[in-house]
Amino acid sequence: MKKILILHTGGTIAMSENQETGAIAPGAENPLNQAVNPFGDRFDLITENVFNLPSPHIGPKEMLIIQKRIMLAFNENIDGVVITHGTDTLEETAYFLDLTLPNHLPVVLTGAMRSANEIGSDGLHNFQTAILTAASDDAVDKGVLVVMNDEIHTARYVTKTHTTNVATFRTPTFGPIGSIAKDSVNFFAELLSQTCLAIDEVVDHVYLVKAYAGMDAELLGFLDNDQTNGVVIEALGAGNLPPQVLENLQKLIDRDIPVVIVSRCFNGVAQDVYDYEGGGVQLKKMGGIFCRGLNGQKARIKLLVGLSTGLQKDELAIYVADALS
């Protein structure tokens, strides 16, 4: 019998709808704690309530608490881990864990788009399929996974794409790496590579900025201070910025503040291909770090992890730029 550790952290999957107002909020008790075990004696389920927080309340410090709890599981004969989590920041927690956990132990995150008492609630089904995935022998060495709506995605590339649809979690460009049909867990892709960094604490003041037409230089100017540890910029197109921000961007780089460039586009990768003022070629010459294949929030998590583990300038740039590690 496989032993699966269940870590509840809150989110819509742990909430209920007020039948009079329609508002959704956490209750005193997680509804999943009261759900009937659909697997009988097939699995030994060990349940712990780590938090009961909406996912906008979860940040790197809470992610580190989850990571440290899972690290303990390596010495507890645990065969797999399932984490229930709010969907708003689920992809960031998943990627943080993917970067900081050895990938041999299956770790699966899941959540819900509809609360426990709404018509068509998806929470219990997602919970069940996440358990099946974590218990699958084929989930070993796949990295941290996200299971929602009968699809299996890698933490590295999955993102939330819709505010309310149950099919919100998608992997742009590449698609899911597996699916669940009834009790059958099927993988059809492999994790290419993974670098795991040991982490004991997390740094703060790592910022994410989104570029836009006519972007003001002052926004980057506000970050030019001794507290700023890193900046990720969701640049335009393939990785370009309005020319008026370049002076303040250079000031950040001259301060040895790592500046990471990604694209604000939903698909594709950031590349230094345009050679004009503010184009990617100039940004790279200035010292910008191009991160290929990650969205802004994932790139910020990767930069934060690299900084938290003490990577220095050159090795930090190599680590952040390689989205495949």
Known binding residues for substrate are 55, 87-88
* DSSP annotation of 31: G
User: In terms of DSSP bridges, do strands 230-235 and 259-263 run parallel, antiparallel, or are they unpaired?
Assistant: parallel
Asked if residue 105 lies in contact with residue 73, where contact means CB atoms within 8 angstroms, the answer is: yes
Which amino acid does the sequence have at 234?
E
- What is the distance between the alpha carbons of residues 27 and 171, in angstroms, rounded to a whole number? 32
Residue 8 exposed, middle or buried by CB count within 10 Å (0-12, 13-18, 19+): buried
| Helix (H/G/I), strand (E/B), else coil: 206 | strand
Answer yes or no: 12 catalytic.
yes
Choice among 9, 12, 133, 154 that is catalytic:
12
Annotated binding site: 55, 87-88
Edge-to-edge strand list for the sheet holding 206-210: 206-210, 230-235, 259-263, 289-290
Active site residues: 12
